[in-house]
Chains A and B, each alone.
Chain A
Amino acid sequence: MKGKSREATDPAPDDGELVQRAKGGDAAALDLLLDRHQGVVYRFLLGLLGDEDAAADAAQETFVRALTNLNGFRGDAAFRTWILAIARNEARGMARRKSRRRESALDDLPPPVAGGPSPETRALRNVEVQRVRDTLARLPEKQRMSVSLRLFDGLSFREIAEATDSTEGSARVNYHHGIRRLREWLHDDQRT
C-alpha cells in the first residue's frame, strides 16, 4: 500500500533520469523526452529559419542526432540547453547548405518567396493568430528569439542567453524591446 501511494505521488522524472533510461533503450523515456522538448526545439528553429517546413526538418535532424548521441550528454548543462545547442548547429548547417545550393545550381532561379504556410493553410488558421505570428516574424532575430523562448517556453534569461549565444542582460533587454515593439505594431496594425 505504502509503495502504491508513493508511486501515485511521485513527481515526473527529471530529464537527467530520462536520459539515463533512454541510454538503456527505454522507449517510454525517449517518448517523454520528445514530448517535453519537441515544442521548444521546433519554435527555436522556426525563429532562426523563419520557415515552418525547414524548422520541422531541422528539428527532426536535431532529435535524431541528439537521441543517437546521448552518451555525449554529460549532464553539465540542462538537457534543454544541450539540445538547443545541437539545434543551433543544425540551423547553421542548413543555412550553409541552402546558400551553397543557391550559389551553384539555382543561380538562374528567382529567390523563394518568404517562407511560411500555404495560402490555404493561412486561410484555415485563426486570422488573429496569424496576425500575431506574422508580426512576431518581423522582429529582429535576437528580439524574436528572446520573446519566443521566454513567452512561449518560459525559459529563464540565462537559458535564453546560452541558447542564443548572448548575455543574460542582452536577453532581458531584447525580450522587453521585442514585446514593446510587438505591442506597438499590433496596435498600429489594428488601427489601419
Chain B
Amino acid sequence: MTTNGHNGMNETNQPSSDGTPCGDALDQLPLRIAGRLAAREARALEEHLSRCAGCAAEVEFLEAVVRARPEPPRAFKTSVLGRLRIDDSGVTEAVPARWKWLANRWDGSQRRAAGWGLSAAALLVLALGIGVVWSEDPVADGDTQFTSALLAPEDEMVEEWMVAGAPVLDGLPDEVLLSLMTEMD
C-alpha cells in the first residue's frame, strides 16, 4: 500500500494550473470514490488529477483505505427482517430485543421449515389430545388418582395466565415458540 499522498504543500487551497485548488480537490476525492460527485464537478476533478501528482497519489492512498471498509455481518438484513411483522397496517416489532438471539439464528428457509415443523407438532398434539379424551379407562393409574386427590378443581392450572412464563411467551411468533420448545428439549 502506498502511503504517499499529498505532501501538504498544496493544501493551502491555492489554485493549481487547471484552476482547481488542491484543498477543494482533496475535499472531493472521497465523493469521487463513493460515486457521489455531480458530472461537472467530476470532470473538473479529473482535469485537476491529470495535472497534480500529489492529488493523484492521494487517490491511490484513499482507495487503499476504502478497501478496508468494514461491512455489516452477512445475515444482518435477515436478522432485522426476522424481528419485524410487516402487513397492510405497517411495520411492527414481532420479536422483542430479549428474544432477538432466536431471530438472529434463523434465516428465511429455516423459518419456513419451522413453519412446517410447527404445523406437524400441532397435529401431533391434537392427535394425542383426542386419544386422551377418547380413552375408555377414566382411572388410568395410581399416579393420576394421586394427582387428582391433591388438586381440588379450583387449584388445577386451567387458565393460561397461571402457566409459568405464559405472559412472556404471549405474542411471540410461532417460529420463536417452536425454537424455544426445541431448546427446552
> CB within 8 Å of B: which residues of A?
22-25, 27, 30-31, 34-35, 38-39, 42-43, 46, 52, 56, 59-61, 63-64, 67-68, 70-71, 128-130, 132-133, 136, 147, 150-154, 157, 172, 176, 179-180, 182-184, 186-187, 190
Contact = CB atoms under 8 A, between A and B. Distances in A.
Contact of B86 (A27, A152, A184): A27
A3 to B, nearest CB: 26
B61 A42 contact: no
Contacts of B170: none
B93 A150 contact: no
A59 B76 contact: yes
Interface in B10-47: 11, 26-27, 30-31, 33-36
A150 B36 CA distance: 11
Contacts of A27: 86
Given A30-B91, A70-B91, A190-B1, A151 B62 contact: yes
Interface of B: 1, 3, 5, 8, 11, 26-27, 30-31, 33-36, 61-62, 64-73, 76-77, 79-81, 83-84, 86-93, 97, 100, 104
A30 B82 CA distance: 12
B89 A151 contact: no
A56 B73 contact: yes
A42 B97 contact: no
A145 B30 CA distance: 14
A157 B76 CA distance: 28
Contacts of A147: 65
A71 B93 CA distance: 14
Contacts of B90: 22-25, 70-71
A154 B34 contact: yes
A188 to B, nearest CB: 9
A125 B129 CA distance: 55
The 3 closest A-B CB pairs, nearest first, are A154-B34, A132-B68, A187-B3
A30 B81 contact: yes
A184 B7 CA distance: 11
B91 A43 contact: no
Given A34-B81, A136-B65, A172-B27, 12 more contacts: A31-B81, A39-B72, A42-B70, A46-B70, A59-B72, A60-B79, A64-B84, A64-B97, A132-B1, A154-B30, A182-B65, A183-B61
